[in-house]
Chain A
């Protein structure tokens, strides 16, 4: 069965420090991987994706993510956190032979001033 795991319900980081939100996946075939952000009472916003090529992908708002095939991980990173980055973050995966994107349970990121 395909699955996406976000092992941390919440991540707390001080403003200006680097942040990492973890994600591991299990899908059949080559994975297509995504990160989304959700602000309160809003829909999910697409941040970035990995389809093929360079393992480090860059996305919106200064976020980036690193694809690691051997560890089946796709962690979200940002070198310097902002208070405005505080939100709910979802990792998602699509197997190359699948029709539905699988979402993780979400990680709440809290950036303290």
Chain B
């Protein structure tokens, strides 16, 4: 069965510091991968998605970036964090091949607090 991991689970970082959040998926190949941010326990904001290694689409211009160095690894980064970057970050995956499910599966999330 498929499993999605995210780490760290919680993170407290000062303004201006760098950020690296990692997401890995097990038990599938060639997934679509997604990064979301959720503020104040409400709606989801899609930040980035990837349909393959090195292929990143950005949904919202900001000081965050994403990379996909391996098929099942998705990394969210920032060179300098802002207070507004605080939130709950969720990684998700979906089968790329049509007809194999369509639904997305989410990781456990990372709670980021920028101080």
Q: Which residue of A lies closest to B59 (CB)?
A: A100
- A88-B41, A100-B46, A103-B44 known; A42+B109 contact, CB < 8 A: yes
- B109-A41 in contact (CB<8A): yes
Complex Cα distance A51/B101, Å? 9
- A51-B90 in contact (CB<8A): no
> Which residues from chain A contact B49 at a C-beta distance below 8 Å?
99-100
- B43-A106 in contact (CB<8A): yes
Complex Cα distance A86/B95, Å? 30
Q: Closest approach, in angstroms, between the C-beta of A81 and any C-beta of chain B?
A: 21
Per-position 1/0 for B98-109, Cβ under 8 A of A: 000011111111
- Name B's A-contacting residues (CB within 8 A): 6, 32, 41-44, 46, 49, 51, 88, 90, 92, 94, 102-109, 111
- Considering the complex of A and B, which 8 residue pairs feature the smallest CB-CB distances, nearest first? A43-B106, A44-B106, A105-B43, A103-B44, A32-B102, A43-B109, A43-B108, A43-B107
